[in-house]
């Protein structure tokens, strides 16, 4: 097992990555927290697959002193919504949940973000644990305390910072993760590789040739990514000095793609994968990066999106309009670009023609899309 400590001022928390962790560190953490009740927040399909193991482990440790309630909602980005949040408040209120209790976010980024925000805002804040079940959530969203919900057409528009008491990533659950979700998480792994850690890209390639969740390779990859995320959050918890903003590599393009598809057709990691290729192309065209950067991105990322079909109705012009719409609203359009692997830079403006050509070229190469 790998244990990473994220230190934040006088506080901090542990991020555990390994196997069999529900029965060990998770149970021990909860014993230490001594809640009267555990609110298990999740999707029904995740509870169906892994809930009984988790609940058996928790019951074993609490010896019947702690009660458990479920708050479930259907999967899908569209449910990271005000409506679900309101349902959550009502469920907790009706069950008499107090600030002595604990919310356990058991799922991917959608559960983690929503349940984290529920915990942050209900009764002005209750303690919560992140127990991620997707690769994406293990390497990224469960760490760092950014929680929130979407508004119609505006992703992550409402939220706050609320750090969990601990993050417990049990790799055993990844065996049931659909391939597309695995690939989406691998795109986030690649993001850390491009930004900070070229060796991670080699580890990723080796792992991909077998794609096995047995053995220690995947544990090492997740722990390494969690370490990078923890270090970034330690340096810039509130995302104010530009260090945490680097994690948005590929996101300016990626968000426009997700938005152009109505947040349905593309997984977050897929949009980020395409966005990173666009950013690499833009960095080359701008002259900031030497040739070869896009080639490296293609090598690593193309296999992750090879099975993804072009989203119906997606048009280059719509993607560009979404990007320019942000700019017109007076928002600074920031891009994270690489001078070389491991050398990221934040760029406050990028020539519109370069943006256009980068989007056009990557969509044409990936899906044969013309303007
Ligand atoms: N807070 C942050 O810092 C941060 C960072 C990055 C992304 N995010 C957010 O994360 C969300 C995306 O998260 P995600 O990629 O984990 O997707 P997700 O939470 O939508 O989960 C993807 C799907 O996998 C299923 N699933 C989860 N675990 C499973 C398992 N072990 N076996 C089988 N199926 C399983 C889920 O039910 C769901 O259908 C987005 O809302 C994004 O905005 C947040």
Residues 73-97: tens digit of each pLDDT: 999 999 999 999 999 999 999 999 9
pLDDT at 185: 98
pLDDT at 154: 85
Please give the average per-residue pLDDT across 292-317, as a whole number: 93
140 CA to middle of ligand 1, Å? 10
| Ramachandran angles phi, psi of 14, nearest 5° | -95, 145
Which residue among 181, 239, 258 is best mutated to probe the pocket of ligand 1, counting the most ligand atoms within 8 A of its Cβ?
Answer: 181
Protein residue with its CA nearest to atom 16 in ligand 1: 108
Answer whether residue 153 shows pLDDT above 90: no
What is the reported pLDDT for 325? 73
Could you tell which of 268, 269, 271, 273 is best to mutate to test the pocket of ligand 1, judged by most ligand atoms within 8 Å of the CB? 268
pLDDT > 80? residue 284: yes
* CATH code for the structural domain at 2-176: 3.40.50.1970
Q: For a pLDDT cut of 70, what percent of the chain falls above it?
A: 96
CA–centroid distance, 10 to ligand 1, in Å, is 30
Mean pLDDT score across all residues of the chain: 93
- CATH for 249-371? 1.20.1090.10
Cα(135) to ligand 1 centroid in Å equals: 8
pLDDT confidence band for 227 (50 / 70 / 90): very high
pLDDT at 237: 93
- Among 21, 43, 79, 110, name the best residue to mutate to test ligand 1's pocket (greatest count of ligand atoms within 8 A of Cβ): 110
| DSSP class per residue in 176-225 | GS-HHHHHHHHHHHHHHHHHH-HHHHHHHHHHHHH--SSSSHHHHHHHHH
User: Do 120 and 160 contact (CB within 8 A), yes or no?
Assistant: yes
The ligand 1 site (C-beta within 6 Å) comprises 43, 45-46, 49, 75, 77, 80, 107-111, 113, 133-134, 136-137, 140-141, 144, 146, 156, 173-174, 176-177, 181, 184, 268
| Residue 64 pLDDT grade (very low, low, confident, very high; cuts 50, 70, 90) | low
pLDDT at 62 over 80: no
For residue 31, the CA-to-ligand 1 centroid distance in Å is 27
- What is the Å distance from ligand 1's center to 339 Cα? 30
Contact 185, 135 (CB under 8 A): yes
The pLDDT score that the predictor gives to residue 4 is: 87
Which sequence spans correspond to the domains of the chain? 2-176, 249-371
Residue 166: in which H helix or E strand, if any?
strand 166-170
- Measured from the Cα of 267, ligand 1's closest atom is 15
Mean pLDDT of 283-307: 95
Least confident of 55-69, 143-157, 199-213, 227-241: 55-69
Other C-beta atoms closer than 10 Å to the C-beta of 356 total: 18
- DSSP-based three-state secondary structure for 79: helix
Tell me the mean pLDDT in the region 242-248: 95
* Distance from residue 306's CA to the centre of ligand 1 (Å): 20
Position 3 pLDDT exceeds 90: no
Residues 328-350, mean pLDDT to the nearest whole number: 87
Please tell me the predicted confidence (pLDDT) of residue 328: 60
Pairing of strands 102-107, 127-132: parallel
Distance 22 CA to ligand 1 centre (A): 19
Is the pLDDT reported for residue 219 higher than 80?
yes
pLDDT reported for residue 44:
98
Burial state string for 204-239 with b = 16 or more CB within 10 A and e = fewer than 16: beebeeeeebeeeebbebbbbbbbbbbebbbebbeb
Tell me the pLDDT band of 371, cut-offs 50, 70 and 90: low
Distance from the alpha carbon of residue 59 to the mean position of ligand 1, in angstroms: 26
């Amino acid at each position: 097992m790998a244990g990473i400590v994220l230190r934040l001022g006088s506080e901090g928390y542990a991020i555990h990555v390994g196997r069999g962790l529900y029965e060990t560190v998770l149970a021990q953490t909860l014993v230490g927290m001594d809640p009267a009740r555990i609110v298990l927040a999740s999707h029904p399909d995740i509870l169906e697959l892994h809930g009984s193991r988790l609940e058996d482990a928790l019951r074993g440790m609490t010896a019947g002193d702690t009660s458990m309630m479920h708050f479930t909602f259907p999967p899908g980005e569209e449910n990271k919504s005000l409506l679900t949040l309101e349902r959550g408040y009502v469920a907790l209120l009706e069950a008499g949940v107090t600030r002595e209790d604990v919310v356990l976010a058991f799922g991917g980024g959608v559960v983690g973000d929503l349940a984290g925000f529920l915990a942050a805002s209900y009764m002005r804040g209750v303690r919560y644990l992140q127990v991620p079940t997707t690769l994406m959530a293990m390497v990224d969203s469960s760490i760092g305390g950014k929680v929130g919900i979407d508004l119609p057409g505006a992703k992550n528009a409402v939220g706050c910072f609320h750090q969990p008491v601990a993050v417990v990533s049990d790799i055993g659950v990844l065996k049931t993760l659909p391939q597309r979700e695995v690939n989406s998480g691998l795109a986030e792994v690649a993001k850390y590789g491009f930004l900070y850690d070229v060796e991670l890209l080699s580890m990723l390639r080796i792992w991909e040739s077998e794609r096995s969740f047995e053995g220690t390779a995947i544990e090492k990859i997740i722990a390494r990514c969690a370490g990078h995320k923890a270090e970034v959050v330690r340096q810039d918890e509130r995302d104010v000095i530009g260090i945490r903003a680097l994690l948005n590599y590929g996101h300016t393009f990626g968000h426009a793609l997700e938005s152009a598809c109505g947040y349905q057709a593309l997984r977050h990691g897929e949009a980020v994968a395409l966005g990173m290729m666009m950013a690499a192309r833009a960095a080359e065209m701008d002259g900031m990066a030497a040739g070869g950067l896009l080639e490296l991105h293609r090598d690593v990322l193309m296999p992750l999106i090879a099975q993804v079909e072009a989203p119906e109705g997606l048009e280059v012009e719509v993607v560009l309009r979404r990007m320019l719409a942000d700019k017109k609203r007076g928002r600074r359009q920031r891009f994270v670009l690489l001078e070389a692997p491991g050398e990221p830079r934040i760029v406050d403006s990028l020539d519109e023609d370069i943006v256009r050509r980068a989007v056009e070229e990557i969509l044409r190469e990936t899906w044969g899309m013309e303007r």
